A and B are shown apart, each in its own frame.
Chain A
Amino acid sequence: MADRTMTVTVSRYDPERDSAPYLQPYQVPWSEKTVLLDTLQYIKDNLATDLSFRSSCRMTICGSCGVMVNGEPRLACKTIMGNYQQGMVVEPLAFFPVERDLVVDLSHFMECIEAMKPFIIGNNRVPSDGPNRQTPEQIAKYHKFAMCINCGLCYAACPQFGLNPAFLGPGATALGHRYNLDSRDCGSTQRLATMNTQDGVWACTFVGYCSEVCPKHVDPAAAVQQCKAAGALDFVASVLHCQKKCKEGSHGHAS
């Protein structure tokens, strides 16, 4: 790091010692190439060895280092310090329970991902059938939604998740939608059952901030709206008792 310094204020919280989180300023060096994750590591190495934060890949792949930077959900490894020369306040991801310092409890998010059954369902192909090929068009349908790295930034940006912690949320919905759009999958009925509950996709009011903060441009807001349209059709089908049945053998082959 270079000799220029700036003030970074970090939210600190030790549940065994503190009754509530508090802000602690640190004077840190920075250069044009310094990212927030470097700075947090500098603070841990030199100024506050007990600082807790999550990180792993350092290259926007693992989704571990999500924090609030001046109130905006961001990945620490993708936040360039030079853009915050006037100062920076780093806090844990909003709306999640704080475990310690910048570490939040992501249990609800993980449970939502599990509820979405993010795997191919109902495809009874066997290895002897050969590769389960798809056309570029079939892949393009879901590819954008497959880019999610489960960082949780969209949840920290979602005012509805802030109001209702039971909300299925944008990230898990995008993941479920990714499998619903996959030509090899036949599990949309199971996922739509979860999406069509009061705390499912219908809690969303299309604020759209989740898509703005997504570091992988997944556009979870679009996924939620498309799930609403699919859910509305599913609702009509349930009223008319004509729910679409996935035909055995109708999937899994590139056409």
Chain B
Amino acid sequence: MKRTNEPVFWGLFGAGGMFTAICAPALILVLLLLPTFGGTAALGAFFGTTWGRLFLWLFISLSAWCGLHRIVHCLHDLKLECCKGAHTLIYLIALLVTVLALYGAFATCG
């Protein structure tokens, strides 16, 4: 029996879903409220730290893996699986987002 590599993508999908569900509402709330109370500088300072950059990278890349993995399954659900290449292409986009987010979070300095 051939073992599927789906656990890798399911793991990233699950991690992305969990991370986004927990952090996205808090992030949105913070981004909405902090400017009102003049905390923009503190927010900028946090995202300048290693933990802040790591958070941003994980947030963006895991969200991408979650959403794009869902699209792969939606293609199956909607019977739109034209070829195996579509899956590879979608996962390559997720990988690209991961690499770009890594670059954006760590390579650029404020």
- Report which A residues bind B (CB closer than 8 A): 159, 163, 193-194, 196-198, 200, 202, 205, 228, 231-232, 235-236, 238
A sample of 6 inter-chain contacts (CB < 8 A) reads: A196-B1, A196-B7, A197-B2, A198-B4, A200-B4, A202-B7
10 A-B pairs closest in CB distance: A235-B7, A202-B6, A232-B7, A198-B4, A197-B1, A205-B73, A196-B3, A193-B1, A202-B4, A232-B11
Q: Given A163-B76, A163-B79, does the pair A197, B7 have CB atoms closer than 8 Å?
A: no
| Interface hub of B7, B11, B76 (most chain A Cβ within 10 A) | B7
Residue of B1, B3, B79 near A235 (CB, 8 A) is: B3
Residue of B1, B3, B10, B76 near A238 (CB, 8 A) is: B3
Q: How far is the CA of A235 from the CA of B7 in the complex (A)?
A: 7
Q: How far is the CA of A205 from the CA of B13 in the complex (A)?
A: 12
Q: How far is the CA of A231 from the CA of B3 in the complex (A)?
A: 10
The answer to whether B77 and A159 touch across the interface, beta carbons within 8 angstroms, is yes
B8 contacts the other chain (CB 8 A)? yes
The answer to whether A235 and B8 touch across the interface, beta carbons within 8 angstroms, is yes
The answer to whether A197 and B4 touch across the interface, beta carbons within 8 angstroms, is yes
Residue of A163, A194, A232, A236 near B10 (CB, 8 A) is: A232
From 19 to 51 in chain B, residues with beta carbon under 8 angstroms from any chain A beta carbon are none
- CB proximity of A174 to chain B, nearest CB, Å: 19
Question: Hey, which chain A residues are within 8 Å of B73, CB to CB?
Answer: 205
**CB-nearest residue of chain A relative to B11?**
A232
Q: How far is the CA of A129 from the CA of B1 in the complex (A)?
A: 36
**CB-nearest residue of chain B relative to A207?**
B77
The SS class assigned to the B binding surface is helix
| Interface hub of B1, B5, B76, B77 (most chain A Cβ within 10 A) | B1
Chain B interface size, as a band, is: 10 to 19
Q: How far is the CA of A159 from the CA of B79 in the complex (A)?
A: 12
The answer to whether B77 and A163 touch across the interface, beta carbons within 8 angstroms, is yes
Q: How far is the CA of A59 from the CA of B2 in the complex (A)?
A: 41
The answer to whether B10 and A202 touch across the interface, beta carbons within 8 angstroms, is yes
The answer to whether A198 and B2 touch across the interface, beta carbons within 8 angstroms, is yes
| Interface hub of B5, B6, B10, B79 (most chain A Cβ within 10 A) | B6
Question: Hey, which chain B residues are within 8 Å of A238, CB to CB?
Answer: 3
A-B contact sample (20 more), CB < 8 A, given A197-B2, A202-B7, A235-B8: A163-B77, A193-B3, A194-B1, A196-B3, A196-B7, A197-B4, A198-B2, A198-B4, A200-B4, A202-B6, A202-B10, A205-B73, A205-B77, A228-B10, A231-B7, A232-B7, A232-B10, A235-B7, A236-B7, A238-B3
**CB-nearest residue of chain B relative to A235?**
B7
- CB proximity of B62 to chain A, nearest CB, Å: 16
Q: How far is the CA of A232 from the CA of B7 in the complex (A)?
A: 5
